């Protein structure tokens, strides 16, 4: 094993403790083996390799270890684990693939959808605690954009849906009113979407047949670009115009990644489903809820390489609205056995501080 240099002890007493009164020295390697360090209690400082601090660091990095002299405990920074909590109820209970977008749990927008009796004209924004009704859209519809972000609560775009008939109509929100802009080239419902108000991507959906058609929005008009590898209805969109994901749909678990030019098949969801909610980016995403069948509360997290099952929603449902980031998301509405107005908020801190304990 080699010699060990110890600045405050150079031998071990019969009770297994270091003698801290000895001078600086070297323990011969012949006196050391792997078993010799079992059940040893070390007295003195935490050591030169571990910092001693009076309070926990404000912004630790995963893997950091320190000794807190106030609480007399060793601490370390670990990977955060996400969880769902209840949020404010929507003003209008609805689901069935309305449009949604936003950047975080404090910035979300939903539009249209189905209330159980009719397609909805209403739209609402969320500030992290409550929903506020805003101006109605111009055309009520179901099956509109299924995406994690097509803008923010003050600059949003949504497209497609079923009035009926199936439409390519596109509407843009400037924070106070809705304006009809250029239609999609291919009218469809249950279309996936990603991006922002001036640079968006629409893909998949039903014409009524499932399609892989993909279109790019430049703030003025739609341009047909390369199709999905797998045509599908009800894909969830995550990301931005040049770096997006198309996730799940009917009847598939497949995921595809868009690089601004073409789609590439990537790791599948763990559970094939449709009608869920998406959030995040191409390298850090979230997919929750949906219909397997039956309705599910399952949530999966994407790290850029693979999907991992994380904490379930409190309420299993399909056709729900989703927006935000992989670490700060909001889902609302959807269908259980009826259309609901409930909201759940997702929080997944990047780092959590843990205390080292013994058992």
Question: What pLDDT, on a 0 to 100 scale, did the predictor assign at position 223?
Answer: 98
Question: Residue ranges of the alpha helices (H) in the chain?
Answer: none
Q: Indicate if the pLDDT at residue 258 is higher than 90.
A: yes
Question: What pLDDT, on a 0 to 100 scale, did the predictor assign at position 48?
Answer: 53
- Between 53-62, 133-142, 153-162, 258-267, the lowest mean confidence (pLDDT) is in 53-62
How far apart are the C-alpha atoms of 111 and 101, rounded to whole Å? 9
Task: Enter the tokens of residue 307.
Answer: 């999907």
Phi-psi domain of 190 (left: phi exceeds 0; alpha: psi -120 through 50; beta: other):
left
- Between 65-79, 160-174, 183-197, 265-279, the lowest mean confidence (pLDDT) is in 65-79
Q: Indicate if the pLDDT at residue 78 is higher than 70.
A: no
- Between 18-32, 51-65, 126-140, 267-281, the lowest mean confidence (pLDDT) is in 18-32
Question: What pLDDT, on a 0 to 100 scale, did the predictor assign at position 132?
Answer: 97
Question: What pLDDT, on a 0 to 100 scale, did the predictor assign at position 6?
Answer: 47
- Which has the closest alpha carbon to 116: 138, 134, 92? 92
Q: Indicate if the pLDDT at residue 270 is higher than 90.
A: yes
- Which has the closest alpha carbon to 167: 190, 188, 192? 188
Q: What is the mean pLDDT of residues 195-201?
A: 93
* Size of the chain in residues: 359
* Residues 6+ away with beta carbon under 8 Å from 343: 86, 87, 88, 89, 90, 126, 131, 330, 331, 332, 333
- Which has the closest alpha carbon to 66: 47, 80, 77, 52? 52
How far apart are the C-alpha atoms of 192 and 248, rounded to whole Å? 10
Q: What CA dihedral angle connects 32, 35, 36 and 41, to 10 degrees?
A: 140
Question: What pLDDT, on a 0 to 100 scale, did the predictor assign at position 125?
Answer: 95
Question: What's the mean per-residue pLDDT of the chain?
Answer: 86
Q: Indicate if the pLDDT at residue 171 is higher than 50.
A: yes
Q: What is the mean pLDDT of residues 290-309?
A: 95
User: For residue 273, what pLDDT band results from cuts at 50, 70 and 90?
Assistant: very high
- Which has the closest alpha carbon to 81: 299, 329, 351, 355? 351
Do residues 288 and 295 make contact, with C-beta atoms less than 8 angstroms apart? no
How far apart are the C-alpha atoms of 65 and 353, rounded to whole Å? 10
Where are the domains positioned within the chain?
Answer: 4-80, 83-347
- Between 3-12, 167-176, 214-223, the lowest mean confidence (pLDDT) is in 3-12
Residue range 83-347 forms a domain whose CATH class is mainly beta
């Amino acid at each position: 094993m080699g010699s060990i240099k110890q600045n405050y002890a150079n031998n071990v007493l019969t009770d297994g403790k270091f003698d801290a009164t000895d001078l600086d020295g070297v323990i011969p390697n012949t006196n050391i083996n792997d078993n010799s360090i079992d059940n040893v209690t070390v007295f003195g400082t935490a050591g030169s390799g571990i910092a001693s601090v009076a309070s926990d660091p404000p912004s630790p990095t995963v893997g950091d270890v320190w000794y807190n002299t106030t609480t007399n405990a060793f601490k370390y920074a670990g990977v955060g684990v996400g969880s769902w909590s209840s949020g404010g109820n929507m003003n209008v209970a609805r689901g069935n693939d309305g449009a949604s977008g936003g950047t975080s749990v404090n910035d979300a927008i939903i539009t249209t959808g189905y209330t159980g009796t009719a397609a909805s004209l209403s739209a609402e924004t969320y500030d992290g605690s409550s929903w506020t009704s805003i101006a109605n859209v111009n055309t009520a519809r179901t099956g509109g954009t299924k995406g994690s972000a097509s803008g923010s609560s003050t600059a949003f775009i949504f497209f497609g849906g079923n009035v009926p008939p199936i439409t390519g109509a596109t509407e843009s929100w400037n924070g106070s009113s809705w304006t009809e802009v250029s239609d999609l080239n291919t009218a469809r419902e249950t279309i996936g979407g990603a991006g922002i108000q001036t640079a968006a991507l629409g893909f998949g959906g039903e014409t009524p047949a499932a399609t892989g058609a993909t279109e790019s929005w430049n703030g003025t008009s739609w341009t047909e670009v390369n199709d999905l590898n797998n045509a599908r209805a009800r894909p969830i969109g995550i990301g931005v115009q040049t770096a997006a994901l198309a996730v799940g749909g009917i009847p598939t678990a497949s995921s595809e990644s868009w690089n601004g030019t073409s789609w590439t098949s990537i790791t599948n969801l763990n559970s094939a489903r449709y009608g869920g909610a998406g959030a995040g980016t191409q390298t850090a995403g979230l997919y929750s809820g949906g219909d397997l069948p039956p309705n599910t509360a399952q949530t999966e997290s994407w790290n850029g390489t693979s999907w991992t099952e994380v904490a379930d929603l409190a309420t299993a449902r399909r056709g729900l609205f989703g927006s935000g980031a992989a670490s700060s998301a909001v889902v609302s509405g959807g269908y259980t056995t009826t259309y609901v107005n409930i909201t759940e908020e997702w929080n997944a801190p990047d780092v959590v501080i843990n205390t080292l304990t013994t058992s």
